[in-house]
Amino acid sequence: MQGSDGGKTDVKSLSLKELTEELARYGEKPFRAKQMYEWMHVKLARDFEEMTNLSKAFREQCGQRYHYTALEAVQVQESQIDGTKKFLFRLADGNMVESVWMRYKHGNSVCISSQVGCRMGCRFCASTLDGLERNLLPSEMLDQIYAITRLTGERVSNVVVMGIGEPLDNYDNLLKFIHMLTDENGLHISGRNLTVSTCGIVPRIRQLAEEKLQITLALSLHATTDEKRRRLMPVANKYSIAELMDACKYYFDSTGRRITFEYALAGGVNDSLEDAKELAAFASELCCHVNLIPVNPVKERDFVQSEANKTQDFKMKLERSGINVTVRREMGRDIDGACGQLRRNYKNN
Ligand code: SAH
């Protein structure tokens, strides 16, 4: 795995097996790799210097040989309402990504980014306004969780890949990240506590199904007809809702994991009772859960939130059809809530 630092190997993206092989090339025993892996992925060391049970000479060699990713927190915003924290991190090459830390009754959850920018072009989203800059490395996805664990001093129990970027557009790095995050030699977060959200890249959903992971797949549906979905999400020009539903069914059949449908409610766009009826029809065909998201207004976009009573009516309509539905609690409303806004505001200042 090549890092951004002059082509040096990105050591934090190596699995324990790969690291063992890599160090063996320099005559190091497997236990050395195990020690180093533990420093990186359990003790969350920020650099080789912290790895005090490795000799100074060895640490210096590693510093010369390898790229060691570490994120710099450029800005941290804390919500006065619910304690949610939003982090703006600078990567080694100067690019920025956002991550969010949320405290729930069942534990702490972190929302991470998977790319710098995004090329999917969803009309309501701030992350895609300037297109895609680059993919994040597995280490850079892990680092968001590691940095937040260090900064908050609290264990992270849930991870959602719902920040900047389309995770299935960075498939190989995402998969490596998932394996390393759930690895018993690392933070060992259960696959069941990991959610990956996608705008709906059908072949990748099918590929992911075949990995037979225990993660939750969330599909950003947002509309119930192809025509309407195309107006909100350019990816809908490529894949129809029927194809998406087939892929979701395949995911469920292959993994036994219930799908989550995400549906952002935008006033006057997709929040009528007719929309709710159609959504219920799709949802009842699959074993799924519907998560309604009040759309987060972005200043470059002209979508507005549905009125509170409309949201409730929409929810009730689904419930009456026997659909399992929640309305996403709006965490951190007072701190540039919608993903991509913090990075954007920083860039444009
Ligand atoms: N690219 C992935 C994950 C990132 S976005 C995806 O499309 O799923 C995470 C979720 O936030 C998606 O459901 C996305 O559609 C939604 N989202 C983006 N901008 C939003 C906004 N302004 N208001 C509400 N939801 C938004």
Residue 295 CB less than 6 A away from ligand 1: yes
For residues 144 and 315, the answer to whether their CB atoms sit within 8 Å is no
**For residue 50, what are the contacts with CB-CB under 8 A and spacing of at least 6?**
39, 43
Ligand 1 atom 1 nearest Cα: 166
How close is the Cα of 6 to the center of ligand 1, in Å?
34
Query: Could you give the CA distance from residue 76 to residue 217 in angstroms, rounded to a whole number?
Result: 29
Do the domain assignments include residue 3? no
Kindly state if the Cβ of 111 falls inside 6 Å of ligand 1.
Answer: no
2 domain-assigned: no
Q: Which long-range contacts (CB under 8 A, 24 or more apart) does 255-259 make?
A: 255/209, 255/212, 255/213, 255/214, 257/214, 257/215, 257/216, 257/217, 258/216, 258/287, 258/288, 258/289, 259/216, 259/217, 259/218, 259/219, 259/286, 259/287, 259/288, 259/289
CB contact at 8 A, 114 and 141:
yes
pLDDT value for 336 = 61
Average pLDDT over residues 199-213: 98
Note the pLDDT tens digit of each residue in 217-249. Answer: 999 999 999 999 999 999 999 999 999 999 999
List the domain range (segments joined by +) for residue 205: 72-348
The DSSP element (H or E) to which 317 belongs, if any, is helix 308-320
Name the pLDDT band for 296 (thresholds 50, 70, 90): confident
CATH number at residue 338: 3.20.20.70
> pTM to 2 decimals?
0.95
CATH number of the domain bearing residue 53 = 1.10.150.530
In a domain, 230, yes or no: yes
Residues identified as active-site: 98, 339
Q: Name the amino acid, one letter, at 97.
A: V
Output the pLDDT for position 287. 82
213-222, 256-265, 291-300: segment of lowest average pLDDT = 291-300
* Structure-block tokens of residue 86: 């939003």
What percent helix, strand, coil does the chain show, rounded to 5? 40, 20, 40
pLDDT band of 3, cuts 50, 70, 90 = very low
- pLDDT of the residue at 333: 67
Q: Is 112 a pocket residue for ligand 1 (Cβ < 6 Å)?
A: no
Q: Is 100 inside any structural domain?
A: yes
